[in-house]
Amino acid sequence: MDLTELGDRVARVAEEHATRTDRDAVFPAEALAELRATRLLGLLVPVEHGGLGGTTEDVVDLGIRLGRADMSVAMIFTMHCQQVAAVVRHAAEPLRSQLLGRLGQGQEYLASVTTEAGKGGHLLSAEAALHGDGSRLHVDRFAPIVTGGAHADGFLITMRSPDAESPNEVSLVYAHRDQLDVSGSGDWQPMGMRASHSIPLKLVGSVPAHQVIGQHGKFPEISTTIFAPMAHLGWSATWLGTAAGALSRVLRLLRGPEGRKRFDVGSELLLTRLSRARQRLDGVHALLRRATDTVRDALDLSVPNHQLLLNALKITAAEQCHAAVQDLIDAVGLRHGYLKDSPTRLEQALRDLRSASLNYSNDRLHLADGRLALLDPEVRLV
């Protein structure tokens, strides 16, 4: 079965439950079950480990497809793929075969535990430290935001390396839910992305020493080569899909019998607004494809012009996808732009997309980009 069909299956389930999961701010359990059943959870797992052997481009395609149906489901999927990519590239035996086997069967949904109180989302430092006694690593970690944490089968957790001399020595460790005492705290009542169920979690337990992903202290490298690029590509695909789905529903409304009665499709204002929304999405799409190719082909993603391209993708997608939905709300007005029960679902798309510039803050990325720009005085465009 081809990936488009599998994506359509998950999208149908996501769409069926989207109104309820948004209203109740609950995790899309049915869509996750379909991601398991289709084995899309093992998309990036190599065929020899029982996975679908997919590529980064496939993650992007499916992120867009699922985003058209439900932004939270798309985000949950692409973030899981980011975790799987790190396992595929860096996990060592015996963890590698065990975990990839389960992932390939769709038995393992991985959540990311990188946030920590007091470090402002700074990925490359960690306060809570792993303690090792030779054969085991002890985990005691609080994270303020863990997307899907209540439903995850396993976690990839950043922590300060054992015996680290500074908070900048960070390791990535895998823990299965059964190896941890997982306790939640606090309520989840956000403006949008309500089905992402991104809750605070406390994780306590111990794992065999071989469950470190890559070597101790190697997280910065995993971040530059996998976590950051996969996050930017996955999020941007998710946002683009959300805005594309919104535009598509608006266009179907305008072309349908009710729409043709209600709207004047000869209106220059309406046409211009539709044009602007479409223009924004084509711009983001081109940037997304270019960045996907760069991640596939680049020998060293740490060079400033590659970093700048990836950051520009994230910033641009966050701004333009949100702006496109704003355009559409103005285009169709109160009834179909502002009411929850409109088939355009613009109201939810706008709330969901409002998170895009905050999710790994655009403000902070601009500061990084300013510094990176100074390191590329020749301005070598990718």
Partner 1 sequence: MDPRFTELLAPFLKFGKDKQITPESNLRALGLDSMRSIELLFAIEDTYGISLPDDEMTDATFATAGSLWHAITAQLPDETGART
Please list, in sequence order, all residues whose beta carbon lies within 8 angstroms of the beta carbon of residue 355, skipping any fewer than 6 positions away: 190, 191, 192, 193
Shortest Å distance, C-beta 156 to partner 1: 20
Partners of 113 in beta bridges: 157
d(CA 231, CA 236) in angstroms, rounded, equals 8
Contact at 8 Å (CB) between 353 and 71? yes
Q: Which two tokens stand for residue 373?
A: 């720009």
The only residue of 30, 323, 376, 382 in contact with partner 1, by rule CB under 8 A? 376
Taking the least distance from each CB to partner 1, the nearer of 167 and 283 is 167
Q: Which two tokens stand for residue 56?
A: 């980064």
Taking the least distance from each CB to partner 1, the nearer of 121 and 167 is 167
Binding region for partner 1 (CB under 8 A) out of 134-142, 214-222, 238-246, 312-320: 214-222
Per CB under 8 A, 361 contacts partner 1: no
Start-to-end CA distance of the chain, whole Å, equals 35
For partner 1, the binding residues in 289-328 under the rule CB under 8 A are: 300, 302-304
Per CB under 8 A, 89 contacts partner 1: no
The only residue of 217, 251, 283, 361 in contact with partner 1, by rule CB under 8 A? 217
Taking the least distance from each CB to partner 1, the nearer of 25 and 301 is 301
- Nearest to residue 235, comparing CAs of 108, 120, 76, 374? 76
Taking the least distance from each CB to partner 1, the nearer of 124 and 150 is 124
Contact at 8 Å (CB) between 56 and 230? yes
- Build a one-symbol-per-residue string for 165-204: x at contacts with partner 1 by CB under 8 A, - elsewhere: xxxxx-----------------------------------
Instruction: With CB under 8 A as the rule, give the number of residues binding partner 1.
Output: 24
Per CB under 8 A, 101 contacts partner 1: no
Shortest Å distance, C-beta 356 to partner 1: 23
Strands (DSSP E) found in 55-196? 110-113, 131-132, 136-147, 154-160, 170-176, 180-184
156-178: b or e for each residue (b if 16 or more CB lie within 10 Å)?
bbbbbbbebeebebbbbbbbbbe
Shortest Å distance, C-beta 149 to partner 1: 28
Shortest Å distance, C-beta 236 to partner 1: 22
- Nearest to residue 43, comparing CAs of 70, 78, 74? 78
For partner 1, the binding residues in 117-146 under the rule CB under 8 A are: 124
The only residue of 164, 251, 270, 323 in contact with partner 1, by rule CB under 8 A? 164
Per CB under 8 A, 363 contacts partner 1: no
* Amino acid at residue number 259: G
Per CB under 8 A, 23 contacts partner 1: no
Contact at 8 Å (CB) between 312 and 230? no
d(CA 324, CA 331) in angstroms, rounded, equals 10
Q: Which spans of this chain sit near partner 1 (rule: CB under 8 A)?
A: 124, 164-169, 217, 220-221, 224, 300, 302-304, 368, 371-372, 374-378, 380
